Structure 1
Amino acid sequence: MKKICNDPQRYVDEMLDGLCAAHPHRYQRLGDSGRVLARARQAEAKVAIVTGGGSGHLPLFHGYVGAGLVDACAIGNVFAGPRVADCLTAMQVSHHNAGVLQLYGNYGGDRMNFEMAAEMAELEGMEVTQVRMTDDVASAPQQEAHKRRGVAGLVYAYKMAGAKAAAGASLREVTATAQKTVSAVRSIGVALSPCIVPESGTPAFTLDNNEIAFGMGIHGEPGIWRGEMRSADTLVHEMLDRLLEEIPAGRGERLSVMVNSLGATPLEELYIIYRSVAQRMADRQVSLVQPLIGRYATSMEMSGFSLSLCALDSELEDLLSAPASSPFWSQP
């Protein structure tokens, strides 16, 4: 299988070399492994927000290090969690005596390593809280929502919590905002073709030529069903049916929607998808606020897309529109 790289074992480090060379005014690269990215100019006297996860999902996670978003990120190999030492370094470099929020996806390796790093940071005198994103409705039933995976909806949590921290809120307030966002966001995806992990050089899963996987996770985790390809409108309507079961928006409600490419799906197709979403929401007399359409959380070159809905109240809508700046998402 074809990959554009030099040495598959150096894939992540060479990507980080290029990323930092392209954006030296935004990033500093730290840690004995070089796997920690922090803001080039750290903001003092505010709550620090740190995140982390495996590579292969750019711009998630390290693409959202920036003003009004995340302060530092620990980075693992492709589809592998970051090291404990890197999680701790990310906290140390961004901590300015106002506390640290760990904000990341709900995956076993990430949980274990961030929890260990939190214990070590607390021994150094830091106040640490944790919020884990659990937006993937296909990964567990609603009554077991705490078991759900965190996927593209994590971007909303970065934005809301980052804006709250930038406004000078306390660690308790920033943590509450992040948790409120988790409760307000639901996501679901569909895969059309697999991706290739560089170290293995083979597809992460297999699909027949006309087969799709509805509800599949961003690492190839099993979804809800596999079947023949459907039209865009048919897929969108089933996805929205499942999301609206948990976010029952109707007349007068305000939502933000993210139409996210999982890697290979082009913008033209994302706008066909958004067309269907907008029509469905208009029928329900729901207002769509600041739609996000593009690559926000990918799975290497996987073909497919995800939909995320974020239910807005006045506070979350203000935070969504607050200024932010990173290499991959800037909000004037």
Structure 2
Amino acid sequence: MKKLINDVETVLAESLDGFAAAHADIVTLGAERQFVRRRNVKPGKVALISGGGSGHEPLHAGFVGMGMLDAACPGQVFTSPTPDQMLAAAQSVEAGAGVLFIVKNYSGDMMNFEMAAEMLDRENATVIVNDDVAVENSTYTTGRRGVAGTLIVEKIVGAAAERGSKLAELKSLGDAVNKATASMGVALTSCTVPAAGKPTFQIGIDEMEMGVGIHGEPGRRRVKHTTADEIAEELTGSILKDLSLKPGQEVILLVNGFGGTPLLELYVMVHAARKVLAGAGVKVARFLTGSYVTSLEMAGCSITVSAADSATLALWDAPVHTAALRWGV
């Protein structure tokens, strides 16, 4: 294993220190590095909080800032943060309008965020993200996994919160965006968790894992490597089937890298996915391309499609200023 680390025991702490220093104009670290919070909390605004295991950067800390999250709780690599972290984050950024937790559907995250919500003595609600169409149950979860669609939920709900929407409205919006969003991924290589020191799974040089999870969980099946067009056909086709999109529908298209895929290849996948959508009469109204919900250094990508109307697109276009996303400011 070759990684740019000093010690597997300190990699998260040192990474968080570096992140906070590099983006000190946007974020600050909570006590004992329990959470990353927005430097300037907006009074009277519903606080948005998310989190999860590290190794998926920039998710979630990279989405803390104006127009998205107010705080994010980082767990150890591929390990849920604790209820104490979530509670401390909520108490730090709650500004008089309640708290909305945005939670990926993984068993550890679900259990710990539920405990934090029960302990929090302020009004709160939870949006559960389960956008992965690949499998119904997997290693880390009961039901569909929450993957790159989490970014779309956080961006749209974050914009509405910034504009002053109330907690119940944000909960309803988050649920609606999640329902309109679907994702599926493919892995060309495994990733290596620092503490494990070896690849999470073995895969042949001519193979790929279709429908892989963001922790390297098994997907639908192991298949021979093929062209970008054929990969996009299966990923995007599965998404179209899940969402039952009608011709003329506008969508947001996110092509997300898993950490080890160059932009050159991601844009090939954008082109390929766009052709599949166009063939179904679906119009891509907004694009986002890059490595936003990663799996350490895994090679591969996911495709996310989110059905959108004019109101949703206006929220997507609204100003955002975070470490990983910035436009309109």
Q: TM-score with structure 1 length normalisation? A: 0.95
For residue 280 of structure 2, the aligned residue among 255, 280, 284 is 284
Cross-structure match for 1:39 = 38
Residues 142-157 of structure 1 correspond to what in structure 2 (within 5 A)?
Answer: 147-157=143-153
For residue 171 of structure 1, the aligned residue among 167, 170, 174 is 167
For residue 238 of structure 1, the aligned residue among 228, 234, 239 is 234
Cross-structure match for 1:27 = 27
Cross-structure match for 1:110 = 109
Unaligned 5+ segments in structure 1 are none
Q: Distance in 2 between matches of 1:10 and 1:313?
A: 45
**Shift >3 Å, 4+ stretches:** none
Q: Distance in 2 between matches of 1:3 and 1:271?
A: 27
Q: Distance in 2 between matches of 1:116 and 1:304?
A: 34
Q: Distance in 1 between matches of 2:150 and 2:113?
A: 16
Counterpart secondary structure, 1:234 = helix
1:238-297, Cα deviation, whole Å (9 max, x unpaired): 111110002233432101110000010100001111111222223333221120110110
Shift of 1:198: 0.7
Shift of 1:211: 1.0
Q: Distance in 1 between matches of 2:86 and 2:118?
A: 11
Q: Is the 8 A contact 1:134 1:146 kept in 2?
A: no
Q: Which amino acid aligns with 1:29?
A: L
Shift of 1:305: 0.3
1:18 aligns with 2:18: yes
Cross-structure match for 1:188 = 184
Q: Distance in 1 between matches of 2:297 and 2:21?
A: 23
Counterpart secondary structure, 2:10 = helix
Q: Which amino acid aligns with 1:157?
A: V
Q: Which amino acid aligns with 1:87?
A: M
Q: Distance in 2 between matches of 1:251 and 1:43?
A: 40
Comparing 274-283 and 167-176, the one that deviates more: 274-283
What number of residue pairs does the alignment pair up? Answer: 325
Q: Is the 8 A contact 2:236 2:277 kept in 1?
A: no
Counterpart secondary structure, 1:80 = coil
Shift of 1:227: 1.4
Cross-structure match for 1:306 = 302
Q: Distance in 2 between matches of 1:285 and 1:109?
A: 39
For residue 132 of structure 2, the aligned residue among 136, 140, 145 is 136
Q: Which amino acid aligns with 1:323?
A: P
1:60-110, Cα deviation, whole Å (9 max, x unpaired): 111100101000011100000001111001101110110100002011111
Q: Distance in 2 between matches of 1:175 and 1:165?
A: 10
Counterpart secondary structure, 2:222 = strand
Q: Distance in 2 between matches of 1:226 and 1:249?
A: 28
Q: Distance in 2 between matches of 1:275 and 1:112?
A: 39
For residue 200 of structure 1, the aligned residue among 172, 192, 196 is 196
Q: Distance in 1 between matches of 2:104 and 2:86?
A: 14
Shift of 1:146: 7.6
Q: Which amino acid aligns with 1:230?
A: T
Q: Distance in 2 between matches of 1:60 and 1:74?
A: 10
Q: Distance in 1 between matches of 2:326 and 2:103?
A: 20
Q: Distance in 1 between matches of 2:307 and 2:209?
A: 26
Unaligned 5+ segments in structure 2 are none
1:92 aligns with 2:91: yes
Comparing 132-141 and 64-73, the one that deviates more: 132-141
Q: Is the 8 A contact 2:232 2:276 kept in 1?
A: no
1:113-143, Cα deviation, whole Å (9 max, x unpaired): 1111111113xxx0010111000011218xx
Q: Distance in 2 between matches of 1:87 and 1:220?
A: 25
Cross-structure match for 2:265 = 269
Q: What is the aligned-residue identity percentage?
A: 39
1:318 aligns with 2:317: no
For residue 215 of structure 1, the aligned residue among 211, 225, 237 is 211
Q: Is the 8 A contact 1:66 1:325 kept in 2?
A: yes
